[in-house]
Amino acid sequence: MLMPSDCLRPYNDCDYLQVAKENADIIIMDDNFSTIVNVAKWGRAVYVNIQKFVQFQLTVNVVALMLNFVSARLSGSAHLTAVQLLWVNMIMDTLGALALATEPPNDRLMQRPPVGKNVNFITGIMWRNIIGQNIYILIVLGKNVNCKHVCCCFLQVHPC
């Protein structure tokens, strides 16, 4: 294997392209500028899709945990077992990944400024959306469920 330090010596039969390919994360096979733009657009789309998925997952998981916590505090025992919470999480992971991670890129992504290395992955707007959606869902579930055990009626674990 060629080492980059070997390539620095003059008159060495080093294949610089091969060293670059071994150390690169992405390899663009042609010199076309539109290919570079397309790679950047897809990279930004993947980043935004992962952000959407994380926001969705945090919202769903926090609501499920809050419902379980509130029902446990009101009734004295948790009505959702760990296995049931794992099933809810698994279903939401699968459906959320299919829905949010497959969105193709659009031209608006290239109008956004690039994301720096020191920027938080979960932005302030995402935290606002997560907290707001959690409050909304908990209020709606609390008002619309006429049951002593909010959690079990919502997920229909035990009939009320």
Higher-pLDDT residue of 82, 28: 82
- What SS3 class is residue 54? helix
- Mean per-residue pLDDT of the chain: 78
Residue type, 117: K
Cβ of 153: how many Cβ atoms within 10 Å? 19
Cα Rg of the chain, angstroms: 24
pTM for the full model? 0.69
Rounded CA separation 2/25 (Å):
18
Are 72 and 79 within 8 A, CB to CB? yes
The CA dihedral of 30, 33, 37, 40, to the nearest 10 degrees, is 50
Instruction: Write out the two tokens for 142.
Output: 């609390």
Q: Each residue of 60-76: pLDDT tens digit? A: 888 888 888 887 887 77
Residue 69: which residues within 8 A CB-CB, separation 6 or more? 78
Residue 113 has pLDDT above 50, yes or no: yes
Q: Each residue of 137-159: pLDDT tens digit? A: 888 877 655 555 545 554 555 54
